Chains A and B, each alone.
Chain A
Amino acid sequence: MRLLSGLRAWTVQRASALYMLGFLAWLAAALLAAPPEGYAQWRAMVARPAASAAFALFFAALLAHAWVGVRDVVLDYVHGTVLRATVLALAAGALLAAGAWVALALAALHSGGAAA
């Protein structure tokens, strides 16, 4: 809890929102400029090191943003220690699993294996 307390959580929430906004604008522009034709081109596009890094950062920002947001909702609406701890643990587990899935997919892309 202390890791993302007060100011730090507030800053992470806003910085991640700005990054996601910029990333999505870039992604939309890139897709409009050169729409990928088929799966192979999609893979090639994401596999470029700069794009992979941008995607990885996007999902990191998304997960951090979601965690701060979900935790805020839980702190506001869910009362009672046991219930609150359960809901927070489930949310953290779901976000970590989503993060692991993204990491595996990106790793598979670079190792040449099938993407998840």
Chain B
Amino acid sequence: MKLSIYRYDPERDRRPRMQDYDVAPAPSDRMLLDLLIRVKALDDSLAFRRSCREGVCGSDGMNINGRNGLACITPLAGLKEPVEVRPLPGFPVIRDLVVDMTQFFAHYHSVKPYLVNDEPPPERERLQSPQERAALDGLYECILCACCSGFCPPYWWNPDKYVGPAGLLQAYRFIADSRDRATRERLAFLDDVYRLYRCRTIMNCTEVCPKNLSPSRAIERIRAKLLADGL
């Protein structure tokens, strides 16, 4: 199977280049990550991240034939050859397919991705009704692979100021949580021309999310909450 992989080592290369590989997949190889591991056995200078290799850890987000996705859950069958593999667009490259996620996680931390509740804790736990719990479905499953933010033009344009789809999905996950008491502060933080309102509703985020989540819907709900709060 033919692959064309982005190669860049800032310490040695003046500019990035695409390197072609032709690797025969073993019968047990089903996903693109299996093939990348085979490439690495041939050429150990190739760098990429992977950990759980089953779509849970979110380490191997990359651009595959022009679309962001997780290599570990992208089936080899159906991939157009040569398979063009690039790092997540818009992220600074550390080496080959490994990108610098510092800013991405800074945005994630900026939305306070944890419950804020200063009320005295009950003896056992803060209970939720089944409906309140169901409000978190489609939000809590995010694995922070950055496929969405790496496919979001406004995030490419203002990566330092726009929180991006992943961060905003997480922000809404805590706004929607019945146990959280900081909704007002969270909304006030997001009511900003950059942090939230750079979203141009392009919806690439929802299009590429490997977990089938919808950051664009979460962003819409934050806007609706802000509007309801402002009236």
Asked whether A and B interact, the reply is yes
Which A residues are closer than 8 A to B by beta carbons? 1, 5-7, 9-11, 72, 75-77
Task: Tell whether, in the assembled complex, residue B158 and residue A6 are in contact, meaning their CB atoms are under 8 Å apart.
Answer: no
Residue B191 interfacial (CB < 8 Å): yes
- Give chain B nearest CB distance to A87 CB in angstroms: 15
Task: Judge whether B197 and A76 touch: CB under 8 Å.
Answer: no
Over the window 197-222 of chain B, the binary record of Cβ atoms lying under 8 Å from chain A Cβ atoms (1 yes, 0 no) is 11010000000000000000000000
Structural contact, A10 and B223, CB atoms closer than 8 A: yes
Contact B230 A76 (CB under 8 A): no
CB < 8 Å: which of B153, B154, B192, B200 contacts A6? B192
Contacts A75-B158, A76-B158 given; does A9 touch B197 at CB 8 Å:
yes
Task: Kindly list 14 other residue pairs between chains A and B, CB separation below 8 angstroms, not including A6-B190, A7-B227, A75-B158.
Answer: A5-B191, A5-B193, A6-B191, A6-B196, A6-B197, A6-B226, A7-B223, A7-B226, A11-B230, A75-B194, A75-B198, A76-B153, A76-B157, A76-B198
| Minimum C-beta distance from A79 to chain B (A) | 8
Check B197 against A77 for contact (C-beta < 8 Å): no
Asked if A11 meets B193 with Cβ closer than 8 Å, knowing A76-B154, A76-B198, A77-B157, the reply is no
Residues in A neighbouring B194, C-beta threshold 8 A:
75
| Nearest B residue (CB) for A71 | B193
